[in-house]
Copies of this chain bind each other. A is one copy, B any other.
Amino acid sequence: MKSKIKALRKQHRISQDELAEAVDVTRQTITSLECEKYTASLVLAYKIARYFHLTIEEVFDFSEIQ
């Protein structure tokens, strides 16, 4: 699923490692989300959105669903 994670991360000038630690997953998980290898779980989506002070819907792109 497309998302603004990479763009938000760059705006905040933090590495994948820093974001990973902040939301309590491995760096590999962040890489996979940014490269659209798979879709975040609901809880991880929430943690990432909250980290950037945004809503889930603001971070993830649901336009291609259904």
Judging by beta carbons under 8 Å apart, are B47 and A60 in contact? no
A65 to B43 Cα, complex, angstroms: 8
A62 to B47 Cα, complex, angstroms: 9
A40 to B55 Cα, complex, angstroms: 17
Judging by beta carbons under 8 Å apart, are A39 and B39 in contact? no
Interface status of A11 (Cβ within 8 A of chain B):
no
Contact of A62 among B40, B46, B57, B66 (CB under 8 A): B46
Interface status of A19 (Cβ within 8 A of chain B):
no
For residues 22 through 66 of chain A, which have their beta carbon under 8 Å from a beta carbon of chain B? 24, 39-43, 45-47, 50, 55-57, 60, 62, 65-66
Interface residues of A (CB under 8 A from B): 1, 24, 39-43, 45-47, 50, 55-57, 60, 62, 65-66
